[in-house]
Chains A and B, each alone.
Chain A
Amino acid sequence: EAQVTQNPRYLITVTGKKLTVTCSQNMNHEYMSWYRQDPGLGLRQIYYSMNVEVTDKGDVPEGYKVSRKEKRNFPLILESPSPNQTSLYFCASSPRIGQYEQYFGPGTRLTVT
């Protein structure tokens, strides 16, 4: 089954404790992206990747890191989480950038206390 998976689905952590949210897709998509969703703000793009070893900042990259060592995986790293990073995070992929639909993962609910 074609899908985007994320882990963990729920995470409660404390300020400053490094964490990684994994994202994996099995559709051989080139373009992958991370979003955060906050009430009233819609989805905001954090980072995106055009292909392996090619990543770039979205609109809200501060406090996040990503890597794309393999085509299927695009982990999101929070080196020192803060309470303002409490949010719902979605990973998405599409065949390429441009006129293609994005497939979203199920989401990761992160709470930083």
Chain B
Amino acid sequence: GQQVMQIPQYQHVQEGEDFTTYCNSSTTLSNIQWYKQRPGGHPVFLIQLVKSGEVKKQKRLTFQFGEAKKNSSLHITATQTTDVGTYFCAGIRSSGTYKYIFGTGTRLKVLA
């Protein structure tokens, strides 16, 4: 079954509000990647985190990789209508496989 859960599944926010999605894996990951998929589009890479406890920022987006390398979060400050889409986390299990496992995704809707 699905081994990487994301919460919430859906989020509606008013433009200007903050937004956070959480990604939780049942197994340790060697890395975590975040992707954004606009409605009707394909996933587009946002960022990758590799080190335990790593934090990276991209303008209004802040990404964090947990100390145990099993969870991650994406925080958007002051959302804009251009942030609309579904956000996915993805990673490779640390157990030596070459498979990617994706989270279930969080669909963000921003109300103007």
Give A residues with C-beta under 8 Å from B: 31, 33, 35, 40-45, 48, 50, 56, 58-59, 90, 92, 97-99, 101-107
**21 A-B contacts, Cβ less than 8 Å apart?**
A40-B104, A41-B2, A42-B2, A42-B4, A42-B105, A43-B43, A43-B88, A43-B102, A48-B99, A48-B100, A56-B98, A90-B42, A90-B43, A92-B43, A97-B92, A99-B48, A102-B45, A104-B42, A104-B43, A105-B42, A106-B42
Residues of B within 8 A of A106 (CB): 41-42
Give Cα A99–Cα B103 distance, bound, in whole angstroms. Answer: 17
- What total of chain B residues lie within 8 Å of the partner, measured CB to CB? 26
Which B72-91 residues have C-beta < 8 A from chain A? Answer: 88, 90
Tell me which of A45, A56, A99, A107 contacts B100 (CB under 8 A).
A45
Contact A99/B45 with A40-B104, A42-B103 known, Cβ cut-off 8 Å: no
B101 to chain A, nearest CB (A): 7
Give B residues with C-beta under 8 Å from A: 2, 4, 6, 9, 30-31, 33, 35, 41-45, 48, 50, 88, 90, 92, 98-105
Give Cα A75–Cα B99 distance, bound, in whole angstroms. Answer: 18
Residues of B within 8 A of A103 (CB): 45
